[in-house]
Structure 1
Amino acid sequence: MSSMDDGRIGGAATARYARKKETILAAATAILNRQGVRGMTLADVAAQVGLNTTSVTYYYRKKDDLAAACFMRGLERFEAMVEEAAAQASPADRIVKFLDLYLELHRNVRLGQATPLTSFAEVKALKEPLRGSVVEAFNNLFRRVRGFFDDPSLAHLDKRQRNARAHLLMEQVFWSGRWLRRYDVEDYGRVRDRMGDILLNGLPAAGRNWAPQALPDPTPTSLDGLEWRETFLVAATRLINQRGYRGASVEEISAALNVTKGSFYHHHDDKDALVAECFERTFTVTRRSQLDARDLDADCWTQLVSTAAGLTSYQLSEHGPLLRASSLGALPEPLRGDMADGYMRGWQRFASIISDGIADGSIRPIDPSIAAHMINSMLNAAASLPIWVPGLERDEAAELFARPLLTGVLG
């Protein structure tokens, strides 16, 4: 056999190896997105691609190796989009191009022409040193997105403000994957235009300013003498937000709450019941804030900024944060559907306030549905804002994070 034949055989084997590796990554990403790091198994991935578990370990020795590879591949895809967007001439052009590239990729995934996009919700569930490597890559991506705002026209923005805006923009893109399925892919161009318009120009009609009014504390009050339950749910929410639904075990939750595992099960049938109660508490806080804002003797723009500012600040309060929506995907049906309906009711209430504001002239004509999704995304992301803005005080959060979304990220 000639050396040329050897090269062809070697090249074919390398190509087959690469194709199989991509197939495994695609299957693993879909399972990872549904079940999280702890819920994904090599056996599940192997079954999905028609291999046995031993064959998968030829490519990835351990489950965490495969999960980390899924995260890194996802970051590589975002890095390519960010690099192309960063080449645009102005901050506004960079933001719109980033949205355009993401929506085009999401469209191709929906059409089966591209592999699933990776959710980064469970990066913290990885073990070290893999977690550190993925987090470092994510931080590098974050710095590239922050570079969108490096421009002489934005000299008025300091590093903290650019950090907050970069976090806001990235979370708008990540979160949109949760609601884009409600749109046909033929509508994605319109979605891009509406999202870009809101990010760049905000929601207020001419002459309206950022002047949120203080609202009552929306923390649920105990009617049955069980004041400890609020403390219990806040602590559980914080741990689940930090570790993810599957990353936070009953043992860890019990330890964080300073109760025994037996005591935990005395109060909750299982972890799903606890998570459902944490979600219900989140819905109650959101609903109370929205209704209190709606009762203000003020136009709908003022009502909107008041509840958005209040809930953003609440995330950093002693009663915060609210439970992140990323835990929804790991819940079993029909519980997942019930909790998703709870989120949708909050979204609908924001959309209604915006619609009424367009009618009363205090909010300019924008898409209420998309704007409400974007406000939900901002509130969801506010819980992790202190990671990107170290030393952040509660009374700074609304100005730093809610105001840019509602009035425009370049202002």
Structure 2
Amino acid sequence: MPNANKNKISSPFSKTNQHDQKYKTILSAASELFNVQGTRGTTLSQIADKLNLTKTSLYYYVKTKEELTHQCYLNTCIEMQAIVDKSLSCDGSAIDKLDALFRLNFECWNDIIKGNRGHLAGLTEIASLSTPHQEEISAHYRHFVIQVKDLINAGIEDGSMQAIHPGKAANAIWGNIFWLPVWLFSVEESERESAYQQWLTIIKFGLNNTPEKFEFKAISFDDEHMAPTGFDRSEQNRKKQEAFLRVGSSFFNHKGFKGTSLDELAKSLGVTKGAFYYHIKNKEDLLIKCIERTFNVEQSVLSDTMSMDINAIDKLAFAARKMFSIQLGEQGPLIRYATMWSLPADKRKEMEVIASQVRDLFGDMIRAGIADKTIKEVNLLVAENIIAGAIESIPDMAIAPNEIDLVKGSIDFFDIFFNGIATIQRG
């Protein structure tokens, strides 16, 4: 467990602190702005203005934006841990406790959307924190995964859950929990309960529409190089830029925008700064190109998969697994969607439109699966975001990528979304 004895973490918002309530208000306001504008696009002055405070008053509670970001993330972890603890204390089987975990998370974010509780910061920019703070928040996240992994093992033992890979399923589940607010905000209040029930049903019982267990096809991923398109360069320069973008994506994924140094990046590639700047204008230009590369790769995978002569559910499974193999294989990494929060607001909106278009391609596969009756009748928005949330969480897997069998690992990771986690009578 991370450095928090049952979450009694020493912090400015502990119950023994006389400024607890005011500090929580600051955390809520800051979290809301961070979620909308990103930490890079949010200033302490904006947070002070939102609270009708002077900057001097705000500095009484927090000295730097990095400190405030860390406290917002720590607050989210404390709230999430309280939800986990409450879920695990529920009566019933392991699947009942997992149900409670899903329900409490939904109610939490739904209440935030309705304005009934303070905002929580989405853990989208952990890499922007200092190394000690990164390690602390990451330790909390790993503990969440371990607790759900243990719950899945208990579910397999008591017969309420299927014999799936506990570690990979736990990562996939938390990826979807933290992705929940990304799409739930776009759902009308009157439709949120229905959308949640769809989300829950897919995770528990899967997308597969046949009475038999869905079997993943034996397909090799060692095929064509999924090189990005859209860059008017010679082949030699294209390969060099591809290397820049892959290494840049790795740096941004692990160190964030603020922590990524172009000097360090150039050194890791064994090139001079002059050679680096021949391909990249500045750090923001590199981030944009890394995001564009990811979109191009994903669109290429999805378009190619759509043309395959197989059932729609097999196409969906292949595309998802291909993303897994790229992210953790030699062609990766792809950059995390969360890095878009480091862009200026106008550019981020532009990138979010493209990200939505990529998710819609998954929706097209799901729609085709409903039509050919290989996929259940499901809400397309919910289903495509379940796959997107899983893909976004792939880099969080605790196992080192070079220790993963990409073919088997991709099956273990996505099995829950095709066959579900709950034990049900088939046939």
* Same topology, TM > 0.5: yes
Shift of 1:169: 0.9
Alignment partner, residue 98 of structure 1? 101
Alignment of 1:179-194 (within 5 A): 179-194=183-198
Alignment partner, residue 3 of structure 2? none
Alignment partner, residue 7 of structure 1? none
In the alignment, is residue 224 of structure 1 matched against residue 234 of structure 2?
yes
2:53 to 46, 51, 54: 51
2:299 to 287, 305, 309: 287
- Supply the AA of the counterpart residue of 2:215: W
In the alignment, is residue 168 of structure 1 matched against residue 168 of structure 2?
no
Shift of 1:410: 4.5
Alignment of 1:268-307 (within 5 A): 268-307=280-319
Q: Distance in 2 between matches of 1:280 and 1:389?
A: 23
Largest Rg, 1 or 2: 1
Q: Tell which has more relative contact order, 1 or 2 (C-alpha 8 A, sep 6+).
A: 2
Alignment partner, residue 331 of structure 1? 343
2:215 to 185, 210, 214: 210
Shift of 1:386: 4.2
In the alignment, is residue 317 of structure 1 matched against residue 329 of structure 2?
yes
Shift of 1:203: 1.1
- Supply the AA of the counterpart residue of 2:152: F
- Supply the AA of the counterpart residue of 2:93: S
Structure 1 stretches of at least 4 aligned residues deviating more than 6 Å after TM superposition: 155-160
- Supply the AA of the counterpart residue of 1:403: D
- Aligned-pair RMSD on alpha carbons? 2.9
Q: Distance in 1 between matches of 2:189 and 2:265?
A: 41
Q: 1:404 and 1:72, CA in 2 relative to 1: closer, same or farther beyond 3 A?
A: same
Q: Which stretches in structure 1 are left out of the alignment for 5+ residues? A: 1-13
Shift of 1:260: 4.1
Alignment partner, residue 19 of structure 1? 21
In the alignment, is residue 151 of structure 1 matched against residue 158 of structure 2?
no
Which stretch shows the higher mean deviation, 150-159 or 132-141? 150-159
In the alignment, is residue 248 of structure 1 matched against residue 250 of structure 2?
no
Question: Are the counterparts in 1 of residues 127 and 253 from structure 2 also a CA contact under 8 Å?
Answer: no
Deviations 1:338-371 (A, max 9, x none): 2112211221111111111111122222223211
Alignment of 1:349-360 (within 5 A): 349-360=361-372
Alignment of 1:18-167 (within 5 A): 18-34=20-36, 41-88=43-90, 89-151=92-154, 153-154=156-157, 161-167=165-171
Shift of 1:293: 1.8
Q: 1:63 and 1:91, CA in 2 relative to 1: closer, same or farther beyond 3 A?
A: same
Q: Which stretches in structure 2 are left out of the alignment for 5+ residues? A: 1-15
Q: 1:50 and 1:123, CA in 2 relative to 1: closer, same or farther beyond 3 A?
A: same
- Supply the AA of the counterpart residue of 1:217: E
Question: Are the counterparts in 1 of residues 39 and 341 from structure 2 also a CA contact under 8 Å?
Answer: no
- Supply the AA of the counterpart residue of 1:169: I
Q: Distance in 1 between matches of 2:326 and 2:415?
A: 15
Q: Distance in 2 between matches of 1:135 and 1:347?
A: 27
Q: Distance in 1 between matches of 2:108 and 2:228?
A: 45
Question: Are the counterparts in 1 of residues 164 and 415 from structure 2 also a CA contact under 8 Å?
Answer: no
Q: 1:178 and 1:260, CA in 2 relative to 1: closer, same or farther beyond 3 A?
A: farther
The two structures have a TM-score, normalised by structure 2, of 0.83
Question: Are the counterparts in 2 of residues 322 and 383 from structure 1 also a CA contact under 8 Å?
Answer: no
Question: Are the counterparts in 1 of residues 195 and 379 from structure 2 also a CA contact under 8 Å?
Answer: no
Instruction: Report the secondary structure of 2:257's partner residue.
Output: coil
* Count of aligned pairs: 398
Deviations 1:131-156 (A, max 9, x none): 33333333333333333313253479
Shift of 1:81: 1.4
Shift of 1:398: 0.6
Deviations 1:310-334 (A, max 9, x none): 2211111111121100011221243
The two structures have a TM-score, normalised by structure 1, of 0.86
Question: Are the counterparts in 2 of residues 71 and 134 from structure 1 also a CA contact under 8 Å?
Answer: yes
Shift of 1:61: 4.2
Shift of 1:388: 8.1
Q: 1:124 and 1:334, CA in 2 relative to 1: closer, same or farther beyond 3 A?
A: closer
Question: Are the counterparts in 2 of residues 108 and 114 from structure 1 also a CA contact under 8 Å?
Answer: yes
Alignment partner, residue 9 of structure 1? none
Shift of 1:198: 0.6
